[in-house]
């Protein structure tokens, strides 16, 4: 068994071990990773940033807790950005396991709004976030396609009451807000087929500006919709979230996680290179062996 063959045939458990070791180690070390901003993300940021005060954004927190790592940072930074700009939010959670998590996130961000903050050189005073005035949390209903279609008629159709059981009509913010006609845009953060639903049942039928925050895997799949204009912007995975955090000047979870990403990527690339070096070397040896 020669060195190169070993390089090629290494047991997968070594790969697992190296990767785990690197991830655990770099999680500790403090260092800062520079961020490179892509235009797809920038378009989301600019759109939200330029909305006039009081406009309504429909934010769909449609992911499961298992995609929290990638999508939660987006929720945190977008919601904080919107509230700092005095925009209002209608929030849905169309994933079965999502509402509790979304509710927790809303509370967390409300708390952080109670502190003044300075982003991109602008000082934002502390303010209290009021349920029913600054946001409405609609919660979960099964069969997202029906819900998306239903909200196109009237938010009250699928959600006569909000997550906390208050009738929508009694919330000051929902007065005169009937359906998608009254929101500036829809931002869907999702980790599954719900995003297809937002395109075909939502944007396809009702034609609102639609932005996506997706997990890294899904992002590539949605570029055709970005190219065809059905999507007005999209951000993918942790990198997209980190870019948004960078644009909003709000250091958060995503940029924190980027420091593990980088070494992990390097490790995987090294393994791929090792595998190929081994492959070529052993093939060469075979060929030479055949000649002699």
Partner 1 sequence: MKYLLSAVIVLGLLAGAVWAQESDQPSTAAADTAVSADTVSVAPPAPVGNLRAYDSDNDHGHAVTLEWELSPDDGGGDNSVLMYEVFRWYPYFWDTVQEVRAELVTARQRRVQGTLDVEGDPDDYVKELVSRHTELLSTLPEAHEQYPDDGEFRLVRAVPAGTEKFEDRGPKDRLAEDFLPDYCDFYYRVDAVTIDESVRTPSQIVGPVQSYGQWFNTGRIVVLCFVLVFGLLTILFVQRARSGAELYVRPIAGIEAVDDAIGRATEMGRPILYVLGLGTAADVATIASFTILSRVAKQVAEYQTQLIVPTYDPIVMSVAQEVVKSAYLDAGRPDDYSQDIVYFVTQSQFAYVAAVNGVMLRERPATNVYMGMFHAESLLLAETGAIAGSIQISGTDQMAQLPFFIVACDYTLIGEELYAASAYLGREPVLLGSLKAQDVAKAAVVLFALIGVIVTTAGSSVFQNLFKVTD
Partner 2 sequence: MKRQLPLALVFLFGVFMIFQYFVPHEKSEYVYEFLLDWIYIIGIFALALGIWSLFRVSVERIKLRKEGATYSYVALIGLYLMIAFGFTAATGDGGALSTSYYIWLLLGVVCLALVMRARAETASGRKKLLALGTLVFLVGFVLMSIFDDSWAYHFYTAEGLSNPMFRIFFDYVMMPILATMFALLAFFIASAAYRAFRARNLLATLLLLAALLVMCRFNPYLPGIDFIAKASNWLMNVPNLAAQRAIVMGVGLGMVATALKVILGIERGYMGK
Partner 3 sequence: MKRSSVIILSVVVLLFLASWLWKASTLSSDPGIVNAWGQAFGITLAAFLTLAILSFLYRDNPFYKFAEHLFVGVSAAFWMVMGFWSTIVGNLVPRLSEGLSSFFKVPFDRFAVNYFYFIPVILGILLLLRLSRDAGWIARWPLAFIVGTTAGLNFIRYLRSDFIEQVSSTFVPLLVGWQGFGHFLDNLDLSATGQLALTVGNWVISLGVFCGLVYFFFSKAHTGVFGAASRVGIWVLMITFGASFGYTVMGRISLLVGRITFLFKDWLGLIS
Q: Which two tokens stand for residue 162?
A: 């909000």
Nearer to partner 2, 127 or 263 (CB): 263
* Rounded Cα gap, residues 59 and 71, in angstroms: 13
Could you tell me the strand order of the sheet in which 88-92 lies? 135-139, 88-92, 56-62, 185-190, 210-214, 233-236
* 117-119/122-124 β-pairing: antiparallel
Residue 106, class by beta-carbon neighbours within 10 Å (0-12 exposed, 13-18 middle, 19+ buried)? buried
Name the β-bridge partners of 213. 189, 235
Using CB under 8 A as the binding rule, whether residue 268 contacts partner 3 is answered as yes
Using CB under 8 A as the binding rule, whether residue 224 contacts partner 3 is answered as yes
* Rounded Cα gap, residues 229 and 212, in angstroms: 12
Using CB under 8 A as the binding rule, whether residue 221 contacts partner 1 is answered as yes
Using CB under 8 A as the binding rule, whether residue 204 contacts partner 3 is answered as yes
Least distance between partner 3 and beta carbon 86 (Å): 31
Contact 94, 62 (CB under 8 A): yes
Q: Which two tokens stand for residue 279?
A: 């492959």
Using CB under 8 A as the binding rule, whether residue 193 contacts partner 2 is answered as no
Least distance between partner 2 and beta carbon 261 (Å): 6
Which residues sit at the interface with partner 2, rule CB under 8 A? 10, 12, 15-16, 19-20, 23, 33-36, 38, 64-68, 97, 100, 142-143, 145-146, 149-150, 153, 164-165, 219-221, 223-224, 227, 239, 261-262, 264-269, 271-272, 274-276, 279-280
Q: Which residues bind partner 3 (CB under 8 A)?
A: 13, 16, 23-24, 27-28, 66-70, 96, 140-142, 199-201, 204, 215-217, 219-221, 224, 227-230, 236-239, 257, 260-261, 264-265, 268
């Amino acid at each position: 068994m020669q060195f190169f063959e070993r390089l090629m045939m290494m047991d997968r458990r070594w790969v697992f071990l190296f990767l785990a070791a690197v991830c655990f180690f770099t999680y500790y070390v403090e260092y800062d990773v520079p961020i490179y901003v892509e235009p797809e993300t920038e378009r989301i940021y600019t759109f939200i940033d330029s909305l006039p005060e009081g406009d309504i954004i429909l934010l769909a927190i449609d992911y499961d807790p298992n995609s929290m790592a990638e999508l939660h940072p987006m929720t945190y930074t977008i919601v904080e950005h919107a509230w700092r700009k005095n925009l209002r939010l209608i929030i849905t959670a169309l994933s079965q396991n999502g509402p509790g998590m979304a509710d927790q996130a809303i509370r967390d961000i409300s708390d952080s709004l109670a502190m003044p903050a300075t982003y991109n050189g602008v000082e934002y005073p502390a303010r209290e976030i009021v349920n029913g005035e600054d946001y409405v949390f609609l919660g979960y209903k099964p069969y997202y396609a029906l819900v998306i279609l239903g909200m196109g008629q009237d938010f009250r159709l699928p959600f006569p009451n909000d997550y906390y059981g208050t009738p929508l009509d009694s919330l000051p913010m929902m007065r005169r807000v009937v359906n998608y006609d009254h929101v500036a845009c829809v931002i869907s953060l999702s980790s599954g087929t719900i995003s297809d639903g937002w395109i075909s049942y939502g944007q396809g039928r009702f034609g609102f500006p639609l932005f996506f925050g997706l997990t890294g895997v899904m992002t590539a799949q949605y570029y055709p919709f970005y190219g065809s204009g059905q999507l007005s912007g999209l951000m993918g995975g942790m990198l997209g979230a980190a870019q948004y955090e960078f644009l909003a000047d709000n250091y958060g979870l995503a940029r924190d996680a980027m420091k593990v990403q980088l070494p992990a990527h390097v490790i995987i690339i090294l393994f791929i290179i090792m595998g190929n070096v081994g492959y070529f070397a052993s093939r060469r040896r075979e060929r030479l062996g055949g000649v002699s």
